[in-house]
Amino acid sequence: MKLINFFHSLNKEILSFLDHLTEQKLKIALISYYFEPPVTSGVGVHTKFLAEYIAKNNCEVHVFCSNTDYESYKWKNIIVHNIGRTLSNVNGSLSKKRLEYFLFESEVVKAVIR
């Protein structure tokens, strides 16, 4: 237990030191097809917890996720970028689902470049 507390305090000291070295926050992009409410998938839930944790540690977090439209907004110090779906909701076919994921990923690359 003492060792865990030591590493926890060391981690805080390192983050504090890094904050003093630079005025800009570290920018982190998380790409997850599932993030928007209602989040019922394990991937979406884990992405939300990870984004919240990273944002609390003085980083600028951008989450790129799938939604029906293109919009960006701020949620709990996290910048969420919705990437509009190019296909309507695909149910059933695995190949159609993979195509939807591929199109989402290519749209994310475009959004990151912008």
Q: Residues 57-83: pLDDT tens digits?
A: 888 999 988 877 778 888 888 998 888
Range 7-15 contact pairs with CB under 8 angstroms and sequence separation of 24 or more:
15/57, 15/58
24-113 maps to CATH 3.40.50.2000: yes
List, for the chain, all residue ranges whose pLDDT scores fall below the cut of 70: 1-11, 15, 17-23, 38-40, 85-92
Is 0.85 surpassed by the pTM of this model?
A: no
DSSP-based helix, strand, coil % in the chain, nearest 5 = 50, 25, 30
At position 42, the amino acid (one-letter code) is G
Cis peptide, bond prior to residue 37, ω within 30 of zero: no
- Provide the residue ranges of all domains of the chain, joining segments of one domain with +: 24-113
User: How confident is the model at residue 104, as a pLDDT?
Assistant: 79
C-alpha atoms less than 13 angstroms from C-alpha of 45 in its C-beta half-sphere: 3
Q: What's the start-to-end Cα distance of the chain, in Å? A: 46
Give the pLDDT confidence score for residue 61 in this predicted structure.
92
